[in-house]
Amino acid sequence: MHFTELTKMGKFVITSELGPPKGFHIEKALHEAELVWPHVHAINVTDNQSSVMRLSGLAMCKVLKDKNIEPVFQVTCRDRNRLALQSDILSAALFGIDNLLLLTGDHTTLGDHKDAKPVFDLDSVSLAYMVKHLEEGKDLAGNALDGEPPKFCKGAVVSPCAEPLEPQLFKMEKKIKAGIQFFQTQAVYEADKFEKFMKRVKEFGVPVYVGIVVLKSVGMARFMNENVAGINVPDNIIEELKKDKEKTKSGQTGIEISARLIKELKPLCQGVHLMPLGWDDKVPEILKLSGIIAEKG
């Protein structure tokens, strides 16, 4: 069942995120997915995340699908032009992968192939518009597709704590116009800012699933504050991570912070999207501690 339907039924949607391996041995990634799956509605598969080359997200989604795990196929515009994007999205339809998260993607210079050509033939808005075309039975150039057109559940991202917020809202409206049906957000650590954001976007009537990145160390929090757009980890959280080094190292502090944030943010939005960045084994405990269960079916 699609998330948007779950949302319509009044269910709180829970998703997590998985990065494919650098290589073609997927056992570890699959094990992580199986660990998380009983606790979530779907698992996003990232697309060369942070411009670091990895196994294709489409292949990983297919593997999950074969194991009856519901994947969300993340698609960025960095590595493929409009022909390749349409091919891959049609291939996803063939495999029964029908949840998409459509993104612009990080610039190539941020990753591990800094000398690569950044494509950006399309961007998140025109990509959504392109998928809408496919759903109407034609490609972006207007040519008819053979047979029954595909049907997707289309998501995008938004950064609720970005400063300034206006350009993000501007783009969010454009995405909705291009057919986007749900939003997963950049990591949120500031409930007050998120509340303000939700007040602004309420009128759009599109479900928002709040992003949670599990904090692993003080260094990680500081790095994000310095370098990652739209993220600000407040001082009190950094202090909490500092206080008990062993506890932070074991992951317990990160778990507690995440669970607390989920509890606080849950009444404001329609779901939560966890980004454990390799700490997939911590997901069940975070969800248990925050008191939310993925009601399936």
Partner 1 sequence: MLITRVKKKDAILSLCKGKTLLIACFGCKEVHFEEKEYQALKEDLKTSNLNISGEIQLDYLCNDDYTNKRFELHKKEIDEAETIIIFSCGVGVQTFAGLIPGKTVLSGCDTYVLPGFSGFTPSSHDCEQCGECMLGFTVGICPVTACSKGLLNGQCGGAKKGKCEVSKNKDCGWERIYNRMTVLKKDDLTLKKMIRVRNYNK
Interface with partner 1 (CB under 8 A): 82, 104, 106-107, 109-110, 118, 120-126, 129-130, 140, 157-159, 162-164, 166-168, 170-171, 173-174, 177-178, 186, 227-230
229 versus 293: smaller Cβ distance to partner 1:
229
Shortest CA distance to 209 belongs to which of 20, 2, 61, 68? Answer: 2
| CB 179, min distance to partner 1, A | 10
Collapsing DSSP to helix, strand or coil, 188 comes out as coil
| CB 220, min distance to partner 1, A | 16
88 versus 121: smaller Cβ distance to partner 1:
121
123 versus 264: smaller Cβ distance to partner 1:
123
68 versus 227: smaller Cβ distance to partner 1:
227
Q: Name residue 225's amino acid.
A: N
For residue 8, count other CB atoms closer than 10 A to its CB.
11
CA distances from 34 to 54, 100, 269, 278 (A): 20, 20, 27, 14
Lookup: tokens for 28 = 């570890």
121 versus 285: smaller Cβ distance to partner 1:
121
| CB 204, min distance to partner 1, A | 13
8 Å CB contact between 218 and 248: yes
Q: Which residues of 227-238 are buried (b: 16+ CB within 10 A; e: fewer)?
A: ebebbbbeeebb
121 versus 195: smaller Cβ distance to partner 1:
121
| CB 120, min distance to partner 1, A | 4
| CB 244, min distance to partner 1, A | 30
| CB 233, min distance to partner 1, A | 14
**Element counts in the chain: helices (H) and strands (E):** 12, 8
Lookup: tokens for 138 = 């034609």
| CB 125, min distance to partner 1, A | 4
8 Å CB contact between 72 and 100: yes
| CB 107, min distance to partner 1, A | 5
Cis peptide before 284 (omega within 30 of 0): no
211 versus 251: smaller Cβ distance to partner 1:
211
Q: Which long-range contacts (CB under 8 A, 24 or more apart) does 171-179 make?
A: 171/124, 171/125, 172/201, 172/204, 173/204, 174/125, 175/124, 175/125, 175/128, 176/204, 176/206, 178/125, 178/126, 178/128, 178/129, 178/132, 179/128, 179/129, 179/131, 179/132, 179/135, 179/154
26 versus 119: smaller Cβ distance to partner 1:
119
